[in-house]
């Protein structure tokens, strides 16, 4: 029996969920090319914008303007009154599709990318080779985008940098999906990262961390990408809570006192791009 309740079951593939400044759940649907905002209490949903290059990570500048990752053209876009405009070009940093994003209170954005064609690798050989301890994913950089759209490298040689969050003590935590680990960094006043270390090793639990959400106590809720669960992980790798979802969980967000999970049977485009198998699922914390 699952622990969640299905809010919506008409998605293609939901990603990048965020608790918006207006209290609604904001999320991207890759293959509908839409960013949406959903009122969890009324069920009313709005299509905020359409992103032809496939939307992913979301965040807001201090003045409230929305930033959204455009995956296929490796850009961060900014929503103005007249529509989306280019905020930053990640082509000099991202080595494959741009992905999840965290925007901090200063308007600095940390943006991950695949690093290589993961979907093609899985289509060719399945997921099993990626889970072998001696298989090493290609490294790629985490991008740091300034509020003015300037782009720099925040950290190098990450194994599929994905969900990102800020811990209560100010450290940044990044889900390295294909390292099967959460990685922590110290954050300088200018947003630069240092002091890289493992926050939580997760390989023994077969958790390939995808989306994450940090709670007020410093626990990290993790979407495992390979299992129909969401896990709460503390520093060192201790799992304190487990929520069962109806299908594989790829992203999570904390909205008020609820955990929202984006689920789908798989992340492979050939399966989910043409069907509506994705769901938004919720559980009270």
The answer to whether 13 and 29 have CB atoms below 8 angstroms apart is yes
Give the separation between CA 181 and CA 166, rounded to whole angstroms: 16
117-124: average pLDDT: 78
Residue with tokens 């496939």: 54
Q: What are 139-186's pLDDT values in tens digits? A: 999 999 999 999 999 999 999 999 999 999 999 999 999 999 999 999
- Number of domains forming the structure of the chain: 1
E-state strands within 140-277: 140-145, 151-158, 161-166, 172-176, 181-187, 193-201, 212-214, 220-222, 229-233, 239-244, 249-255, 258-263
pLDDT of residue 126: 79
The answer to whether 209 and 229 have CB atoms below 8 angstroms apart is no
How far is CA 109 from each of CA 27, 130, 158, rounded to the nearest angstrom? 17, 29, 17
Helix, strand, or coil (residue 89): strand
The answer to whether 264 and 14 have CB atoms below 8 angstroms apart is yes
Q: What is the chain's mean pLDDT, rounded?
A: 95
Residue 118 has pLDDT above 80, yes or no: no
Q: Please count the other Cβ atoms lying within 10 Å of the Cβ belonging to residue 117.
A: 13
Q: How confident is the model at residue 138 (pLDDT cuts 50, 70, 90)?
A: confident
Of all helices (H) and strands (E), which one includes residue 125?
helix 118-125
Helix, strand, or coil (residue 123): helix
Q: How confident is the model at residue 108 (pLDDT cuts 50, 70, 90)?
A: very high
The answer to whether 242 and 228 have CB atoms below 8 angstroms apart is no
The answer to whether 111 and 99 have CB atoms below 8 angstroms apart is yes
Q: What are 202-237's pLDDT values in tens digits? A: 999 999 999 999 999 999 999 999 999 999 999 999
Q: What are 252-264's pLDDT values in tens digits? A: 999 999 999 999 9
Q: Indicate the pTM of the whole model.
A: 0.95
Contacts of 98 (CB under 8 A, 6+ apart): 56, 57, 69, 70, 71, 74, 75, 76, 90, 111, 112, 113, 143
Q: How confident is the model at residue 127 (pLDDT cuts 50, 70, 90)?
A: confident
Bridge partner residues of 60 (DSSP): 66
18-34: average pLDDT: 97
94-112: average pLDDT: 97
> What's 32's DSSP letter?
G
The closest alpha carbon to 121, from 96, 94, 142, belongs to 96
pLDDT of residue 141: 97
5-33: average pLDDT: 97
- In total, the chain counts a number of residues equal to 285
Residue 26 has pLDDT above 80, yes or no: yes
Contacts of 251 (CB under 8 A, 6+ apart): 14, 15, 16, 17, 27, 100, 163, 210, 211, 223, 261, 262
CA dihedral angle for residue 268, residue 270, residue 271, residue 274, rounded to 10 degrees: 130
Q: How confident is the model at residue 189 (pLDDT cuts 50, 70, 90)?
A: very high
What is the extent of the structural domain holding 203? 5-284
Residue 116 has pLDDT above 80, yes or no: no
Q: What are 30-82's pLDDT values in tens digits? A: 999 999 999 999 999 999 999 999 999 999 999 999 999 999 999 999 999 99
CATH assignment at residue 96? 2.120.10.30
**Given the DSSP bridges, would you call strands 98-103 and 109-113 parallel, antiparallel or unpaired?**
antiparallel
Give the separation between CA 276 and CA 284, rounded to whole angstroms: 25
């Amino acid at each position: 029996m699952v622990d969640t309740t299905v809010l919506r079951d008409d998605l293609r593939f939901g990603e990048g969920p965020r608790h918006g400044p207006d209290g609604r759940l904001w999320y991207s649907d890759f293959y509908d090319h839409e960013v949406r905002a959903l009122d969890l209490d009324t069920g009313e949903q709005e299509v905020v914008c359409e992103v032809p290059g496939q939307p992913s990570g979301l965040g807001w500048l201090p003045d409230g303007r929305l930033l959204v990752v455009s995956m296929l053209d490796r850009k961060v876009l900014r929503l103005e009154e007249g529509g989306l405009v280019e905020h930053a070009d990640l082509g000099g940093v991202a080595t494959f599709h741009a992905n999840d994003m965290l925007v901090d209170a200063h308007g600095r954005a940390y943006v991950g990318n695949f690093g290589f064609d993961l979907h093609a690798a899985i289509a060719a050989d399945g997921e099993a080779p990626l889970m072998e301890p001696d298989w090493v994913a290609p490294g790629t950089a985490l991008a740091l985008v300034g509020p003015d759209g300037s782009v720099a490298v925040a950290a190098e040689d990450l194994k599929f940098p994905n969900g990102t969050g800020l811990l209560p003590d100010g450290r940044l935590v990044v889900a390295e999906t294909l390292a099967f680990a959460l990685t922590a960094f110290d954050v300088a006043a200018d947003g630069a990262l240092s002091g890289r270390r493992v926050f939580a090793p997760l390989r023994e639990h077969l958790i390939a961390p995808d989306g994450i959400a940090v709670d007020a106590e410093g626990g990290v809720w993790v979407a495992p990408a390979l299992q129909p669960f969401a896990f709460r992980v503390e520093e060192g790798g201790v799992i304190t809570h487990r929520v069962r979802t109806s299908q594989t969980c790829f992203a999570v967000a904390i909205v008020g006192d609820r955990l929202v999970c984006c689920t789908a049977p798989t992340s492979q485009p050939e399966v989910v791009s043409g069907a509506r198998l994705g769901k938004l699922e919720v559980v009270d914390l």
